[in-house]
A = this chain, B = another copy of it.
Amino acid sequence: MKKGKFIGIGVGPGEPDLLTVKAIKALNDVDVICAPKSKESKPSLALSIVQNILDDRKSEYEIIEPLFPMIEDENALQEYWNHAAERISEKLDIGRDVAFITLGDPTVYSTFSYVFSRIRELDYETLIIPGITSFTGCAASAKIPLAEKDEIMVIVPKVDERLGQILEHGDTFVIMKTSRHSETLAEMINKDKRDKEVISVQNCSMEDETIFKGFSNNKKYLSTTIVKFKDEK
C-alpha cells in the first residue's frame, strides 16, 4: 500500500485571509489534520484559523490534536514529540495524508520541526508549505519596513545576554514573545546609543490586534517588538 504524505502547513499569524492558496488546497485535500495544542482544555489557535476552510470541505477528514505542553523538561518534551510522530505515522502507514498545521511558518520557531525530523527519518514523502511569519505580519500591520538596502535583520526568540552581545552588529531586531521580559528588553535596547524606533504588536493580524510605540507590558503571549536602529550616515 502506498504510504501517505506528511505536509507541514504554515497558517500565518492569525487572519484567515493570510493563508496561501497552496495551504488552502492542501487543507481541502488531506485526510488528516494534525493540530497540536498546548493544553487539553485550550483550543488550538492554528485550528481556529483554518476552521472556516474545514467547515466548507465536501470530503470527510479527521482531526488529531496531540498535546505539546509548554514545559522546559527536554526529556518529557521528547516523549510528547515521539508520541505525536507515532500517531501521525500510524495514519501515514495506512495511506492517509496528514497535514500538520502551525502558526506562522513551519520552519521558524515551530514545534513542527521536532515532529518533522522524526517523520523524515522514517522515509515518508514530505512537503513543507511556507506561511506568513509573525514578524512580517507585524511589520505590515505597523506599516514599517523591516529591512532596507544593506541592513542586517536579526530575529531573537529570547531576551538574554546573547541579545545584548549581538545588538551592536545588527540594524533591525525582531524580538519575539517579549511581554514577559519587557523591562529587561527596554533596558538592553536603551543602553544602545544609536537613534531608534521601537514598535510592539500584540496579537498580530487578529481581531484584537494592538500596535503601539515602545515596549509591550501586557502579559499576552503573542507579542512581538521591532527595534529599528537608525543609520548614522
Contacts and interface: CB of A to CB of B under 8 A. Distances in A.
A25 B24 CA distance: 15
A160 to B, nearest CB: 8
Contacts of A126: 143
Interface in A85-131: 105-110, 113-114, 116, 120, 126, 128-131
A166 B169 CA distance: 6
Given A154-B170, A166-B170, A146 B20 contact: no
A206 interface: no
B22 A21 contact: no
Nearest to A25: B17
Q: Is the interface of A mostly helix, strand, loop or mixed?
A: mixed
A210 B110 CA distance: 25
A64 interface: no
Contacts of A20: 12, 17-21, 132
Nearest to A157: B150
Nearest to A132: B130
A4 interface: no
A146 B21 contact: no
Interface in A150-206: 150-158, 160, 162-163, 165-166, 169-170
A207 interface: no
Contacts of A146: 107-108
Contacts of A130: 18, 132, 136-137, 139-140
Given A16-B21, A150-B158, A166-B170, A107 B120 contact: no
A165 B169 contact: yes
> Which 4 residue pairs of A and B lie closest in terms of their CB atoms, listed nearest first?
A113-B145, A166-B169, A107-B139, A17-B22
